[in-house]
Chains A and B, each alone.
Chain A
Amino acid sequence: MKQRVLVLYLATSSLDDRVVGWASYDGTGRTNPTTGDGEQPPYATGTDALRDGWRLFQASQLIPPYPGHEYDTSFLKHEFFFEKVE
Chain B
Amino acid sequence: METTSHLLSSVLMARFAAQGFLRLDAVVPDDLNAAAVEALERGIPGVPYGIPLNVAFPDGSFTRRLVDLPPVAGALRSLVGPDPAVDHLAVHVREPNEGSAQPLHGDAIIDTRRDAFDVQLMYYPHDVTPEMGGTLLVPGSHLRLTNESDTGRYQNLLGQVRLTCPAGTVLLLHHGIWHGGRRNDSARRRYMFKIRFNPTAPQVRLWDTRDLDDPAVVAELSTTFPWYEHATGRLEIYNRIALWRTLTGDDTFDIEHWATRVHNRPGRTA
Contact = CB atoms under 8 A, between A and B. Distances in A.
B3 to A, nearest CB: 33
Contact of B231 (A12, A21, A24): A12
A36 B230 CA distance: 22
A39 interface: yes
Interface residues of A, number: 28
A77 B180 CA distance: 21
Contact of B156 (A36, A75, A77): A36
B183 interface: yes
B144 A22 contact: no
A73 B227 contact: no
A86 interface: no
Interface stretch (B10-18, B40-48, B97-105, B189-197): B97-105
Interface residues of B, number: 37
A41 B180 contact: no
A37 B156 contact: yes
A12 B230 contact: yes
Contact of B136 (A22, A23, A35, A73): A35
A74 B226 CA distance: 16
Nearest to A65: B235
Given A34-B100, A73-B145, A75-B146, A7 B153 contact: yes
B229 A11 contact: yes
A78 B155 contact: no
Interface string B154-166: 1111101010000
A9 to B, nearest CB: 7
Nearest to A24: B155
A84 B107 CA distance: 35
Given A20-B227, A77-B229, A35 B102 contact: yes
Interface string A18-62: 011111100000001111111101000000000000000000000
17 contacts: A9-B157, A11-B228, A12-B230, A20-B157, A20-B158, A20-B226, A24-B155, A35-B102, A36-B101, A36-B104, A37-B155, A39-B156, A39-B160, A39-B162, A71-B239, A76-B154, A78-B229
Given A11-B229, A20-B229, A36-B104, 12 more contacts: A20-B228, A21-B157, A21-B158, A22-B156, A23-B153, A35-B104, A36-B183, A37-B155, A37-B182, A74-B144, A74-B145, A77-B229
Interface of B: 99-104, 133, 136, 143-146, 150-158, 160, 162, 180, 182-183, 226-232, 235-236, 238-239
